[in-house]
């Protein structure tokens, strides 16, 4: 046998990914990656009232512009993340993308699982739920990783996303969109 891998043909393979593995929909992606910690945060509606590195109560804004987001509830905003101090807090975001992902994890100070509820335009996501959320919008943070929260079908439009944490001691790091 000549040089080369055993059992590997010369023809190229075509890979088709769908579901969770599908590539971002670049043609309809208008919302950029967004960091929550104050070191790199942008387009934050609530940080004009912020007190960094100490607990602070953030009010839910009545309206957000496209690509603007806000915390609500009592959070401690740190350089790379924000940590929820009391249950019932969350994040709202006005976005334009097919998918919403959030890097989050349980806080070092104890929680092993933090339940959450996701809404899109004020309603449970139904068929637009991501792999880490059910049709009612329920899921749980169990480890630090990227969670897929929303996976919409067309048409893609400007939408309001909300995640509310039902227990404290969760940390949120960054949003990505696809």
Please tell me the pTM assigned to this model. 0.84
CA distance 111 to 144: 12
Count of the separate structural domains present in the chain: 1
**CATH value at residue 163:** 2.60.120.260
Task: Report pLDDT for 5.
Answer: 44
Residue-number span of the structural domain to which 152 is assigned:
24-177
**Does any domain span residue 15?**
no
**Does any domain span residue 5?**
no
CA dihedral 118, 121, 123, 126 (to 10 degrees): -80
**Does any domain span residue 107?**
yes
Query: What is the token pair recorded at 81?
Result: 């993340």
Lowest mean pLDDT among 13-22, 98-107, 111-120: 13-22
Under 8 Å between Cβ of 98 and 29: yes
**Does any domain span residue 28?**
yes
Q: What is the mean pLDDT of residues 50-56?
A: 89
């Amino acid at each position: 046998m000549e040089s080369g891998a055993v059992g590997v043909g010369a023809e190229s393979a075509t890979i088709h990914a769908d579901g969770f593995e599908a590539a971002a929909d670049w043609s309809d992606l208008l919302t950029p990656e967004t960091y929550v910690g104050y070191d790199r945060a942008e387009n934050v509606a609530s940080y004009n009232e912020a007190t960094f590195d100490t607990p602070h109560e953030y009010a839910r804004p009545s309206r957000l512009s496209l690509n603007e987001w806000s915390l609500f509830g009592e959070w401690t905003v740190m350089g790379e993340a924000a940590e929820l101090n009391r249950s019932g807090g969350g994040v709202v975001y006005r976005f334009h993308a097919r998918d919403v992902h959030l890097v989050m994890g349980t806080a070092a100070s104890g929680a092993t699982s933090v339940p959450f509820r996701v809404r899109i335009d004020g309603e449970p996501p139904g068929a637009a739920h991501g792999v880490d959320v059910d049709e009612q919008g329920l899921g749980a943070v169990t480890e630090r990783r990227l969670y897929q929260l929303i996976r919409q079908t067309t048409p893609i439009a400007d939408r309001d996303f909300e995640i509310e944490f039902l227990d404290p001691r969760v940390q949120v790091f960054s949003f990505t969109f696809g």
